[in-house]
Structure 1
Amino acid sequence: MNFQIRPLLLITSITILSLTQTANANRIGIKMPSEPKLISAPTACKSLDDWNEPTHARRIYGNTWYVGTCGISVVLIATPNGHVLIDSAPQKASEAVRQNILSLGVKLSDIKTILITHEHHDHMGGLASMQAATEAKVLSRSNIVDVLKSGKNDRRDPQFDELSGFDPVANVHAFEDAGTIAIGDKKIQHLPMAGHAPGGSGWTWQECEKSVCKNLVFADSLGSISDATYRYSAPDSLANALRESSQRVAKTACDILITGHGTASDLLARLDGAKPLADTQACVNYAQTGMLRLEERLKKEMVK
């Protein structure tokens, strides 16, 4: 299947004009992050699959920081015009995520925008409490605005029978798919990634260190996982959407891959220097793995 990526649209712009980013940051009181005191500490996770187990914050690249748990990625993108948070981890991990953010020397109120990868409680169960703590605007794909506001998933979701609900989220605003979120000079492109969930979203942006710039991609899950009822082989399933999502990620400029479950990309090992941080083939390999698992899933369904 050939898939044409739609042209970028400037949908949401949160821009405060200034002579320089530094002057602007001082004027509106936004503090940029600094290295946490425990930057040299090991990950020390008992399990990299534990959604709630705390681990310390660390820099990913440039002004992008990992503030999640041992098992769930949460990312802070710092800008002088207000910080952006992607995902929030489960509600039980909310305090650990907030402490990670504070360990960088920034205020929770410096977070002005919250984005998500998809509407499952392991990735955004703490979204309501994070929104309340930051008073940030939550941006959402239009097809899941009602889900976020209600705290209830619907039957479109492949895991509907197994999902836990979450606290309803306030201050949710829809944006158009494949748009660009602009925060001052920072451009964060949306990658529609339905398949694992109806509202699946990837995000890509650029960070630089000493004039060396890299493309970061926070890709949504490409897992064809479901409850006992759902069939990816059904005519109205998300199988085609999952294929298109895989193709889209594979075509995206990608130097540093971030995944919601870090084990899918050895994320913490790469952040701790045990493996190379950058890999220009990471998104291609991630997409291929997702496609293979989908085809295996479809074959099993046909046998049944």
Structure 2
Amino acid sequence: MPSAPTPALPQTTCKSLDDWNEPTHARRIYGNTWYVGTCGISVVLIATPQGHVLIDSAPEKASVAVRQNILSLGVRLVDIKTILLTHEHHDHMGGLASMQEATGAKVLSRANVVDVLKSGKNDRRDPQFNELAGFDPIVNVHAFEDSSAIKIGSTQIQHIPMSGHAPGGSGWTWQECEKGVCKNLVFADSLGSISDDSYRYSAPDSLANALRESSQRVAKTACDILITGHGTASDLLARLDGAKPLLEPQACVNYAQAGALRLEDRLKKEAVK
């Protein structure tokens, strides 16, 4: 199991919380869940005696920094057995192929994007299709059923379908305990209604309804500690560093409401064009 980073490991201050690739030090989130991402992109390690789980990988340019954070916790890369995703955009999983090569882990994916991961090419269903960079194809990808639980020993990580920002959008929730006090952690996918210039969320075949449903699911999820793929969406690093409260019982509700409001604003703007 990971131990705390050694005292010799320098604490780092981020120059920009929007920089996907800028390195920062690893941080404990709660229990045996750790932040191992960059200043701008969240990557989460869930440590279990039966093998560790990684959620996301950050961009390929950040892959070395993410691996160094994992190693700083006393974790062997080969002990990461499972990799999960929030969604199939290169800023969150561009480093997945190299992480998989370093760990030998299997990748679990929603069935609707297995072919995308294997090809390394996004498809036209994605609202940001014309602006997305590709990524190295992923091997050893296994589909799971939406809303199912990923069980690693006694650890259960529940899937939350969160299409809308991307077709394969996924949230994840699990429980961690410290000194007998257990909390519900939620790694929510983006609820941003962001697109390239040609996509319309108001079109009949768009992901607008899926995005609304995603917001509703997150709002209903038991949520003590919210984690977001872009930490600025939840002040994540400030909370992990003690500058703001880590526990926010209304965080998921507030996050969901903000996403829903952005979508409705987007639809109103499309209606007047």
- TM interval, shorter chain, is over 0.9
In the alignment, residue 190 of structure 1 is paired with which amino acid? H
CA shift, 1:213, in A, is: 0.2
What pairs up with 1:193-272 in 2 under 5 angstroms?
Answer: 193-272=162-241
Whole-angstrom distance in 1 between the partners of 2:11 and 2:214: 34
In the alignment, residue 182 of structure 1 is paired with which amino acid? K
- The runs of 5 or more residues in structure 2 that have no matched partner are none
Corresponding residue of 2:27:
58
Q: Deviations over 1:108-147 (max 9, x none)?
A: 0000000000000000000000001000010000000000
Whole-angstrom distance in 2 between the partners of 1:38 and 1:230: 49
Q: Is the 8 A contact 1:38 1:56 kept in 2?
A: no
Whole-angstrom distance in 2 between the partners of 1:96 and 1:210: 31
Corresponding residue of 2:260:
291
- The runs of 5 or more residues in structure 1 that have no matched partner are 1-31
Corresponding residue of 2:56:
87
CA shift, 1:37, in A, is: 2.0
Q: Is the 8 A contact 1:48 1:262 kept in 2?
A: yes
CA shift, 1:39, in A, is: 8.6
CA shift, 1:169, in A, is: 0.4
CA shift, 1:104, in A, is: 0.2
CA shift, 1:40, in A, is: 8.4
SS of equivalent residue, structure 1 residue 95:
helix
Q: Is the 8 A contact 1:84 1:114 kept in 2?
A: yes
* Structure of greater Rg: 1
Whole-angstrom distance in 2 between the partners of 1:86 and 1:188: 11
What pairs up with 1:2-151 in 2 under 5 angstroms?
Answer: 32-37=1-6, 42-151=11-120
In the alignment, residue 91 of structure 1 is paired with which amino acid? E
In the alignment, residue 268 of structure 2 is paired with which amino acid? K
In the alignment, residue 125 of structure 1 is paired with which amino acid? G
Q: Deviations over 1:258-285 (max 9, x none)?
A: 0000000000000000000011100000
In the alignment, residue 284 of structure 1 is paired with which amino acid? V
Whole-angstrom distance in 2 between the partners of 1:209 and 1:278: 14
Q: Deviations over 1:35-82 (max 9, x none)?
A: 012598554000000000000001000000000000000000000000
**Pair 1:175–1:130, CA change in 2 (3 A):** same
What's the C-alpha RMSD, in Å, of the aligned pairs? Answer: 1.0
Corresponding residue of 2:134:
165
User: What is the TM-score with the length of structure 2 in the denominator?
Assistant: 0.99
User: What is the TM-score with the length of structure 1 in the denominator?
Assistant: 0.89
Whole-angstrom distance in 2 between the partners of 1:177 and 1:251: 17
**Pair 1:128–1:142, CA change in 2 (3 A):** same
